[in-house]
C-alpha cells in the first residue's frame, strides 16, 4: 500500500489561499467600530490538551486582537455534543464540533434545540479517529477487541458518538462480541490504558494530539487501522466518514496508519450579528496561518475551497455572502 505524503498544515493553508482567492481578498479588513463591537465573544472548545481547545484559544485570541470583540474567551468543555447544546442555547457565541454530531443535533426530531438555529461559519479542519492499544497487548485489529473494554471519550464529546457508530458497524455492540464502552476523557483514558484498566482508547482529534504524543515516549502504543469499517459506518450513519492517513512518526516511531476522518465545523446561531460573522469569516480566510496549533501536522481545512463544505449544515447567511465576495 502506498503511503500518502505528509503535508505541513501551514503550507497547505498558504497553497489553498494562493489557489483559492489569489489577490482578491476583501479590501475592507478593518475591525468592527466601537458601536458594533460586542463586549464579549466565547468559543466552546474541548478538554485540556486537545486540539479543539487549542484551536478555540487561537480563534478567541485572534478575534480579540483584531477588535471583533472587547473580550473573548475559549472554554474548556466535554466536546462536540456539549458545545452544540451550549451554542444553540445562546450560552456561547461559537462552537467547534464534529460534522456527524452537528448533523444529529440539526435533525428535526432533536430537542430541546431548534435545528434551524444551528448554522456554520465553515469547515475548519480534519479530525482523525485514533484507535490506540498498548504495543504489548497483541491486539492488531478492531475485531480482536471483542469482549474487551474501550475508553470512548468524555461525556458530551463527539468522540462518544463517532466511536459508538464505528463499534456498531464493526459488529462489536451486541453479545457475545460486545466491546464495553466507558466514558473517559483524553488524559484519563491514557492513564487507564497505561494501567491496564481499559484495552483500547478511541479519541478523535488533530494529528498529533499532544498528550498522546507525550505518552508514546513513555509507553509503547499501537494505532489500529480501522478504515475497513468506513463503508459500513457510512451505510448506517451517513457520509460523514472518510479514509485518512495518520502520517508515520506522528507518535514516536509509529508507522503510518489509515483511519476514519470526520470534518470539524465552526458553528454559531443564526441570529448572530452579520458583521461579527462576516469579520470572523474574513479572519478564517485571511489569517488562517494564525489558527493552526504549532504541534499540528497534516492537511488543514482552512482554505477557501474547503471552508464552505459544511456537511449539510447550512452556512450563516452572512458567512455565505462573505465567501461569495471572497471568491469573486
Pairing of strands 149-151, 200-205: parallel
Task: Evaluate whether 24 touches 310 at the Cβ level (below 8 Å).
Answer: no
208 or 120: which leads in pLDDT: 120
- The pLDDT of residue 29: 36
pTM equals 0.84
**Averaged pLDDT for residues 241-248:** 94
Task: Evaluate whether 159 touches 203 at the Cβ level (below 8 Å).
Answer: yes
Count Cβ atoms within 10 A of the Cβ of residue 136 and give its class: 0-12 exposed, 13-18 middle, 19 or more buried: exposed
d(CA 152, CA 202): 5
- The pLDDT of residue 326: 85
**Averaged pLDDT for residues 187-196:** 96
Task: Evaluate whether 146 touches 172 at the Cβ level (below 8 Å).
Answer: yes
Residue-wise pLDDT for 84-130, tens only, equals 999 999 999 999 999 999 999 887 655 455 656 899 999 998 899 99
**Averaged pLDDT for residues 74-89:** 96
Predicted confidence (pLDDT) at residue 229 exceeds the cutoff of 80: yes
Compute the half-sphere exposure of residue 253: CA atoms within 13 Å on the CB side of its CA: 4
- The pLDDT of residue 206: 87
Task: Evaluate whether 267 touches 120 at the Cβ level (below 8 Å).
Answer: yes
For a pLDDT cut of 70, what percent of the chain falls above it?
A: 84
Predicted confidence (pLDDT) at residue 1 exceeds the cutoff of 50: no
174: its cell numbers: 451486541
| Nearest Cα to Cα of residue 128 among 158, 84, 156, 148 | 158
The string of DSSP codes covering 14-75 is HHHHHHHHTT---S--PPPPTTT--SEEEEE--STTSHHHHHHHHHHHHHHHTTS-SEEEEE
Quote the mean pLDDT of the chain: 86
Predicted confidence (pLDDT) at residue 32 exceeds the cutoff of 90: no
Q: Give the list of residues 6+ apart from residue 154 with CB closer than 8 angstroms, or none.
A: 47, 78, 79, 160, 183, 184, 185, 186, 188
| Nearest Cα to Cα of residue 296 among 180, 162, 205, 181 | 205
Domain covering 129-262, topology: D-Maltodextrin-Binding Protein; domain 2 (3.40.190)
220-253 burial: b if 16+ Cβ within 10 Å, else e: ebbbbbbbebbebbbeebeebbeebbbbeebbbe
Using DSSP, state whether 120 is helix, strand or coil: strand
- Please give the class, per CATH, of domain 9-126+263-327: alpha beta
**Averaged pLDDT for residues 281-290:** 92
20 or 164: which leads in pLDDT: 164
Sign of CA dihedral 231, 4, 294, 320: negative
Binned at pLDDT 50, 70 and 90, residue 9 comes out as very low
Query: 2 φ, ψ to 5°?
Result: -75, 150
Binned at pLDDT 50, 70 and 90, residue 77 comes out as very high
**Averaged pLDDT for residues 283-299:** 79
Q: Do domains 9-126+263-327 and 129-262 have the same CATH topology?
A: yes
257: its cell numbers: 496508519
Task: Evaluate whether 230 touches 242 at the Cβ level (below 8 Å).
Answer: yes
- The pLDDT of residue 294: 73
d(CA 251, CA 283): 31
- The pLDDT of residue 247: 92
Sequence spans of domains, the chain: 9-126+263-327, 129-262
Task: Evaluate whether 200 touches 193 at the Cβ level (below 8 Å).
Answer: yes
Predicted confidence (pLDDT) at residue 303 exceeds the cutoff of 90: no
179 or 16: which leads in pLDDT: 179
For a pLDDT cut of 90, what percent of the chain falls above it?
A: 71
**Averaged pLDDT for residues 184-205:** 96
- The pLDDT of residue 311: 86
- The pLDDT of residue 50: 86
113 or 54: which leads in pLDDT: 54
Binned at pLDDT 50, 70 and 90, residue 289 comes out as confident
Residue-wise pLDDT for 130-173, tens only, equals 999 999 999 999 999 999 999 999 999 999 999 999 999 999 99
E strand or H helix at 85: helix 80-88
Amino acid at each position: 500500500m502506498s503511503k500518502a505524503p505528509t503535508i505541513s498544515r501551514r503550507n497547505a493553508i498558504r497553497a489553498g489561499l494562493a489557489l483559492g482567492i489569489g489577490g482578491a481578498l476583501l479590501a475592507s479588513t478593518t475591525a468592527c467600530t466601537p458601536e458594533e463591537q460586542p463586549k464579549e465573544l466565547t468559543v466552546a472548545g474541548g478538554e485540556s490538551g486537545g486540539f479543539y481547545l487549542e484551536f478555540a484559544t487561537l480563534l478567541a485570541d485572534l478575534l480579540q486582537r483584531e477588535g471583533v470583540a472587547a473580550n473573548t474567551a475559549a472554554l474548556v468543555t466535554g466536546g462536540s455534543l456539549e458545545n452544540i447544546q451550549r451554542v444553540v442555547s445562546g450560552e456561547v457565541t461559537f462552537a467547534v464540533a464534529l460534522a456527524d454530531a452537528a448533523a444529529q443535533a440539526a435533525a428535526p426530531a432533536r430537542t430541546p434545540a431548534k435545528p434551524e438555529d444551528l448554522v456554520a461559519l465553515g469547515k475548519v479542519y480534519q479530525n482523525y479517529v485514533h484507535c490506540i492499544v498498548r504495543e504489548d497487548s497483541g491486539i492488531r485489529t478492531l475485531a480482536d477487541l471483542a469482549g474487551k473494554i474501550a475508553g470512548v471519550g468524555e461525556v458530551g464529546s463527539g468522540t462518544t458518538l463517532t466511536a459508538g457508530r464505528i463499534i456498531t458497524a464493526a459488529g462489536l455492540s451486541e453479545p457475545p462480541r460486545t466491546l464495553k464502552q466507558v466514558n473517559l476523557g483524553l488524559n484519563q483514558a491514557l492513564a487507564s490504558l497505561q494501567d491496564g484498566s481499559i484495552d483500547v482508547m478511541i479519541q478523535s482529534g488533530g494529528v498529533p494530539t499532544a498528550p498522546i504524543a507525550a505518552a508514546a515516549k513513555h509507553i509503547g502504543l499501537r494505532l489500529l487501522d480501522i478504515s475497513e469499517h468506513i463503508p459500513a459506518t457510512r451505510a448506517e450513519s451517513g457520509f460523514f466518514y472518510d479514509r485518512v492517513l495518520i502520517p508515520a512518526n506522528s507518535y514516536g516511531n509509529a508507522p503510518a496508519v489509515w483511519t476514519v476522518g470526520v470534518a470539524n465545523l465552526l458553528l454559531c446561531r443564526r441570529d448572530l450579528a452579520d458583521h461579527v460573522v462576516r469579520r470572523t469569516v474574513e479572519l478564517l480566510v485571511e489569517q488562517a496561518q494564525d489558527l493552526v496549533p504549532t504541534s499540528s501536522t497534516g492537511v488543514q481545512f482552512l482554505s477557501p475551497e474547503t471552508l464552505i463544505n459544511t456537511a449539510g449544515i447550512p452556512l450563516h447567511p452572512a458567512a455565505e455572502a462573505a465567501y461569495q465576495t471572497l471568491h469573486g
